[in-house]
Amino acid sequence: MDNKIKKISKEALDFWGYEPQSTMLIEEMGELIKALCKYKRFGYEKADEEIKNNLLEELADVHNMLEQMEIFFGEEKISQIRLEKLIRTQNRINKLKGE
């Protein structure tokens, strides 16, 4: 599935280009913020399926647009930065746990 996601993401980026796709990312991030707020406002336990499904859709939308930005800016470079930041997070966790 991962390869199919990458293939179609690249096709979309090649077809529309950086400018509209980065704008789309901004739009989708706005929709995700709204979905997260709604999920929180209704209460995580009380939120119905529609609210939860909408949140999953917006997470997927943002993820798909991020995928295209990663292709545009260089997946390897971004993966490396992600790993460095996660290692920093892990170190912070270990410190807080007293390890």
Q: Which is nearer to Mg ion, 61 or 70 (CB)?
A: 61
Cβ–Cβ under 8 Å, residues 58 and 32? yes
Segments in the chain forming alpha helices (H):
2-16, 18-42, 49-73, 75-97
Q: Which is nearer to Mg ion, 11 or 27 (CB)?
A: 27
Q: How far is the CB of 66 from Mg ion (least distance, A)?
A: 13
Q: How far is the CB of 28 from Mg ion (least distance, A)?
A: 5
How many CB atoms within 10 Å of residue 55? 18
Q: Which is nearer to Mg ion, 21 or 85 (CB)?
A: 21
What is the contact surface with Mg ion in residues (CB under 5 A)?
A: 28, 31, 61
Closest chain position to Mg ion (CB): 61
Alpha-carbon gap, residue 68 to 81, rounded angstroms: 17
